[in-house]
Amino acid sequence: MRGVAAEVGVAPMSLYHHVIDRDELLVGMVDLLLEQVPDTVGRDTPWRRRLRFPFLVLRDLAYGHPRTFPLVLTQRRSPQVQRLRRIGIDAMVDAGVPVAHVLRTDAVVWTLVLGFVTRESIGQFRDQAPGEADRDASAVLAAVEHHVPWVAEDPERAHPDDPELTWSPSEDDG
C-alpha cells in the first residue's frame, strides 16, 4: 500500500478512503485492466469462438502488462475475471457439456489456458523462432476445443475417477 500511495503522491492511510484493504485494491486493478476489453462475443456467437475469447484476452493482457498479469491468477473475486469465466462456462453448456461436468471441464480449460499464458508471460517461449509461440497457443486451443465436445459426448470417459490421484491432506500439510 505504501508503494501505491507513493506512486500516486498520497499518504498510505488516505488510500483507505477509497479501498477497504489491499485485496480490494488488487481486485480493482485487475478489473480496471479487464474492463478495457470489450465483449466481442454474445450468446449467439458459436461456442468455440466464445471459448477462445478468454484465452485471447488473457494472452493479450499478459503480453501488454506482464508485471500485472499474475494478479489475474490470484484475484478470483474480480467481477471481470468472473465475466471471462462465465463466457467460457456458457460456451461449454451450449456445446452440450452436462451440468454435472461443467466445473470440472472449466478447471481443465482454465488450467490449459492459464498454464500457457503464464509460461508465455514469464518468457518461456522467448527463444523460439518467430511464430512458434502462436503455434503452441493454437495447440492449446485445439486441446481445449477437443476436450469440450469429448466431455459432451462421453463425460465419464473424459473425466474418469482415478484412485491414484486421490489426494487427502496429511498431518504435515496442516
Domain assignments of the chain as residue spans, ordered by start: 40-159
**Per-residue pLDDT band at 141 (split at 50, 70, 90):** very high
Residue 128 per-residue DSSP state: S
Question: What pLDDT, in 10s, does the model give residues 145-162?
Answer: 999 999 999 999 999 888
Which tens digits make up the pLDDT trace of 63-109?
888 888 888 888 888 898 899 999 999 999 999 999 999 999 999 99
> For residue range 99-126, what is the model confidence (pLDDT) as tens digits?
999 999 999 999 999 999 999 988 888 8
Query: DSSP states of 6-66 as a string?
Result: HHHTS-GGGGGGT-SSHHHHHHHHHHHHHHTS-----TTS-HHHHHHHHHHHHHHHHHH-T
CATH number of 40-159, picked from 1.10.357, 3.90.550, 1.10.3470, 2.10.260: 1.10.357
Give CA–CA dist 43/45, Å, rounded.
Answer: 5
pTM value is 0.79
Q: How far apart are alpha carbons 113 and 92 in whole angstroms?
A: 15
DSSP, collapsed to helix, strand or coil, labels residue 129 as: coil
pLDDT for 171: 61
Crossing angle of helices 132-153 and 79-94, in 10° steps, is: 60
Residue 165: predicted pLDDT: 75
- Radius of gyration, CA atoms only, the chain: 19
pLDDT digits (tens, 9 = 90+) for 7-35: 767 777 777 767 677 777 778 888 888 88
Mean pLDDT confidence for 39-57: 92
pLDDT score of 4 = 67
What is d(CA 42, CA 24) in angstroms, rounded to the nearest whole number?
A: 29
pLDDT at position 33: 85
User: Cβ neighbours of residue 4 under 8 Å, at least 6 residues apart?
Assistant: 15, 25
Sign (positive or negative) of CA dihedral 96, 102, 107, 108? negative
Interatomic CA distance for residues 29 and 41, integer angstroms: 23
